[in-house]
Structure 1
Amino acid sequence: MDTKPIKELRDPIHGFIPVYDQEFEIIQDPVFQRLRRIKQLSFGYFVYHGAEHSRFGHVIGVMHLVERALNKIQENAKKLDLTVDIDKKDIQLARFAALLHDVGHHPFSHALDSSKMIPVKHEKYSTILVENHFSKFLEKADIKPKDVSDLILGNPPPDKPYLADLISSQIDMDRCDYLLRDSYYAGVKYGVYDLDRLIDSLIVNEEKKLVVLQKGFFSVEQFLLARYHMFSQIYLHKTKRCFENLTKIAGEHLLDIDKFDYPKPDDLKSQDGIENFITLDDSWLIKKITEITEPKMENIKKSILNRIPYTRALDSENIVPEGSMFVKSVEDDLKYGLDNHAFDEIGITNEDILFDEATQLSYKLRPFASLLAEEEPDDPKTIQIYDDETKKTKTMEDSSNIIVTLGNAIKIRRIYVRKEKKDDLMKYLKEKYPILR
């Protein structure tokens, strides 16, 4: 890495971001430029019209934050007389991994991740691209492509596990960026937290894991609350989820009629595969949907293209107690009825009803091996708070009742129906389920 950046990119979240020579060559590459055409929040812009931002700005932001974090870790280690071996190569490796960690992302971000159409997660596509297409840039910088892909997959150098923590953990720089970025572009305040204080409090413990100094406790608590609120209000928003699920149905239909020609990861090892992959962005998927001609898919197609959301018939959040279990039982009933043509008389078909299930943990608590154990083993995946006086660490949940509560998963089940069919469906449901009357 050159000692001086060759460019400074102006970012609305982090200000001026320095970029070095090989990084800029990667950014200028057509495969990387594809990220400009992959929306960060998929159909979030159907709810928050400002949320048109892309994966492009996000990965540049993460790259910037990992260097900020590593520099601060070194500074804090000197103050506390701790030994942390971070050299320029480590910073360079972490920056490349951050820059390229999403380069293989699918259209509309996570809308198609691990689906029937694309069963392989985007990380696999990213690592194939890193080790093949982007290898020439990395090797020119004297960085091994395999080291970058390993770090993206959470396999850092054995003596430096904190590098992986910065890329993927419960307090990684990926989350640190997207919470602020998504909040900014959506025009909400749910994702705002004290980033400067959080980074100022980072340190590496004796096990070479990323931990947080005691002074940063409240900034981490604020960060985790921000993530909880962003999932509740933005990422799992009913309308956003509706269109993501409609898109999956449309994609599965395209797959069934052999018109969903998305490449396999190994296809990206060839130049033809690369040229094809560059075209597979959000607009490509929308164009594929516009080409659907089957009459039974017409309403789904129009809903996606013209932003006509299905309306909620049932939402587990509005039914207590045991809302999720109740909605699941109704879902099973409806699926059975649809399969056996029980709703033909009222004109409701499979294409009129949409089922959605979403589960998300804002914070993963440490696993409890035994309720009788006097001392529970620390899980390295939990966020550790480091007391620089006692030189001991404790988990976030040991110090915060709020964080213990966040360890409960957000579980949402929803049943959507086309607006024109809602009265007929609700009449049936109210007759069968007195709780809905």
Structure 2
Amino acid sequence: MKKIFDEIHGYITLNDVETKLVDTSVFQRLRRIKQTSLAYIVYPGAMHSRFSHSLGNIFLANKLAQRLYSEGVITQEEIQYLRLSALLKDLGQFPFSHSIEPIFLNKNISNTYLRDLILSKNQEINEIFDEFSISLKKILDIYHGNSFISAIIDSDVDVDRMDYLVRDSMHTGVQLGSLDLDRLIDTINYGENKTIIILDKGLNSLENFYISRLHMYQSVYYHKTILGYEIQLRDIFFHLADYCCPGIFDESFLKEIISSNYFAYWDDEWIYSKLYESLVDSSVPENLKMKIKNFLDRNGPKVIYEEISFQNQGSRIEENVLKLNKYGIPESAIYPFEEAIKIIDKNRIKVRIKNKEKDLREYSSTLLNVIPSTIYIRRIYVENMYAKKARDILS
């Protein structure tokens, strides 16, 4: 048994199996992966890690589980497996989290795939599971949606999202208003297909949750400067890989570093080490070295075109990129970005009133009906040295 003090939730208690899992090298790796990737470039306090977030996950999962247990919904064994799945959920996160993940997603390699591979192949974890008679299948069933408690770990309003909203808010300083997690946990239930069922007395807390989520996507997760540096790092790492680590985008390479446990040292610092080494590597092209220096010196790309909307309107991204190319901006210096960010799925929310459930759209007296379902963000970034010329071209 161990108690760890967390800056958000206070003391978090781990039992013996959880303590041993936290002490493994592959879990300690999460101390060296920042929760919000490159957000510290804009918000200096955003230095918190996936390690502390994972502890927050288990704390909130346990709070929700204890309520469900008192209502006779789940068993003590299910509480243990829910806690374990919450704790281990982020094991497969990439260095700098989602900054470089899109490169691997193009190869059908996701952080959830890596997590499942670690749980199956890591010797330290397998020995602990054997020692405490933990079923890997039951944990994977929760992750893969084969358990009725899966939605607590992965849904529109899961414990992962609950924790990162309050944690990221505190460390960035972006104020969310009154996000009452205790009230939310006390009034939320989950139905089939990850449906969210909220008691009518908990509607205000669910409204605040979604409004907070909308604000954090706008102010932090898709902040124009933060996103620009993430895109730049992704571009640098993609081109640098041929010089520093050939084969890293191959599934076989990742399987090898997991089976050898080198994965435990594949973290943010590893990426930085490759950037530093490349600056004195004669084989690395000078233009790539310049991009690395610009990244390290916070001289990143600038937004020269932006469309943000709550409706999916026609895009001028391709047209403007072609125009920039035509008038002398090198293709390698242009970073187009388009994404539709889902905020709320209103079809999966029901309101329970006196043991009767209503679809959200039938319940008119809630802000949830007017919160936008999706944000559409389209931007064009260019390297800093071309920013003025690019703005003139598009003006």
Distance 1:147 1:258 in 2: 39
Contact map agreement 2:21 2:128 (CA 8 A) in 1: yes
Distance 2:187 2:96 in 1: 34
Q: In structure 1, which of residues 187, 190, 214 is the aligned counterpart of residue 173 of structure 2?
A: 187
What is the aligned partner in structure 2 of residue 30 from structure 1?
25
Question: What whole-Å deviation, never above 9, does each CA across 1:151-199 have from its counterpart, x for those lacking one?
Answer: 123222xxxx1x1010000111010100001001111212751101111
Q: In structure 1, which of residues 74, 83, 99 is the aligned counterpart of residue 69 of structure 2?
A: 74
Distance 1:191 1:13 in 2: 16
What is the aligned partner in structure 2 of residue 172 from structure 1?
158
Q: In structure 1, which of residues 237, 249, 266 is the aligned counterpart of residue 235 of structure 2?
A: 249
Question: What whole-Å deviation, never above 9, does each CA across 1:266-322 have from its counterpart, x for those lacking one?
Answer: 6666687443211210111122223333112133211221111222111113x9998
Q: Summarize the alignment of residues 59-208 of structure 1 with structure 2, pairs less than 5 Å apart.
A: 59-75=54-70, 77=71, 84-116=72-104, 119=107, 120-133=109-122, 134-156=125-147, 161=148, 163-190=149-176, 193-203=179-189
Distance 1:74 1:320 in 2: 40
Between 304-313 and 207-216, report the one with greater CA deviation. 207-216
Question: What whole-Å deviation, never above 9, does each CA across 1:23-79 have from its counterpart, x for those lacking one?
Answer: 00000111000000011100000010000001001011111111110111233x3xx
Between 223-232 and 205-214, report the one with greater CA deviation. 205-214
Distance 2:330 2:302 in 1: 15
Tell me how far 1:353 sits from its aligned partner.
2.2
Contact map agreement 2:95 2:271 (CA 8 A) in 1: yes
Cα distance change on mapping 1:406 and 1:289 into 2, 3 Å: farther
Distance 1:189 1:324 in 2: 33
Distance 1:43 1:418 in 2: 18
Distance 2:21 2:294 in 1: 37
Q: State the identity %.
A: 30
Q: Summarize the alignment of residues 386-401 of structure 1 with structure 2, pairs less than 5 Å apart.
A: 386-387=352-353, 389=354, 391-399=355-363
Distance 1:250 1:106 in 2: 16
What is the aligned partner in structure 2 of residue 329 from structure 1?
319
Between 417-426 and 142-151, report the one with greater CA deviation. 417-426
SS of the residue corresponding to residue 12 of structure 2 reads strand
Q: What amino acid is aligned across from residue 104 of structure 1 in structure 2?
A: G
1:239 aligns with 2:225: yes
Distance 1:399 1:308 in 2: 49
Contact map agreement 1:328 1:413 (CA 8 A) in 2: no
Cα distance change on mapping 1:16 and 1:265 into 2, 3 Å: farther
Q: What amino acid is aligned across from residue 319 of structure 2 in structure 1?
A: S
1:303 aligns with 2:303: no
1:364 aligns with 2:365: no
Contact map agreement 1:43 1:240 (CA 8 A) in 2: yes
Contact map agreement 2:310 2:376 (CA 8 A) in 1: no
Cα distance change on mapping 1:13 and 1:421 into 2, 3 Å: same
What is the aligned partner in structure 2 of residue 418 from structure 1?
383
Cα distance change on mapping 1:185 and 1:326 into 2, 3 Å: same
Question: What whole-Å deviation, never above 9, does each CA across 1:242-279 have from its counterpart, x for those lacking one?
Answer: 11101111121023457355376666666874432112
Contact map agreement 1:117 1:260 (CA 8 A) in 2: no
Tell me how far 1:130 sits from its aligned partner.
1.4
Distance 2:291 2:370 in 1: 38
Q: What amino acid is aligned across from residue 142 of structure 2 in structure 1?
A: L
What is the aligned partner in structure 2 of residue 433 from structure 1?
none
Contact map agreement 2:311 2:374 (CA 8 A) in 1: no
Give the structure-2-normalised TM-score.
0.89
Tell me how far 1:117 sits from its aligned partner.
7.7
What is the aligned partner in structure 1 of residue 281 from structure 2?
none
Distance 2:196 2:131 in 1: 30
Q: In structure 1, which of residues 365, 373, 384 is the aligned counterpart of residue 350 of structure 2?
A: 384
Distance 2:156 2:207 in 1: 12
Q: What amino acid is aligned across from residue 378 of structure 2 in structure 1?
A: R
Q: What amino acid is aligned across from residue 416 of structure 1 in structure 2?
A: Y
Distance 1:265 1:72 in 2: 41
Distance 1:69 1:192 in 2: 20
Cα distance change on mapping 1:116 and 1:175 into 2, 3 Å: closer
Cα distance change on mapping 1:320 and 1:175 into 2, 3 Å: closer
Q: What amino acid is aligned across from residue 422 of structure 1 in structure 2?
A: A
RMSD of aligned residue pairs (Cα, Å): 2.7
Distance 1:320 1:234 in 2: 18
Tell me how far 1:423 sits from its aligned partner.
2.4
Distance 2:54 2:128 in 1: 17
Distance 2:392 2:9 in 1: 52
Contact map agreement 1:37 1:281 (CA 8 A) in 2: yes
Contact map agreement 2:104 2:249 (CA 8 A) in 1: no
Q: What amino acid is aligned across from residue 32 of structure 1 in structure 2?
A: F
Distance 1:85 1:208 in 2: 16
Q: In structure 2, which of residues 34, 41, 45 is the aligned counterpart of residue 46 of structure 1?
A: 41
Tell me how far 1:364 sits from its aligned partner.
1.6
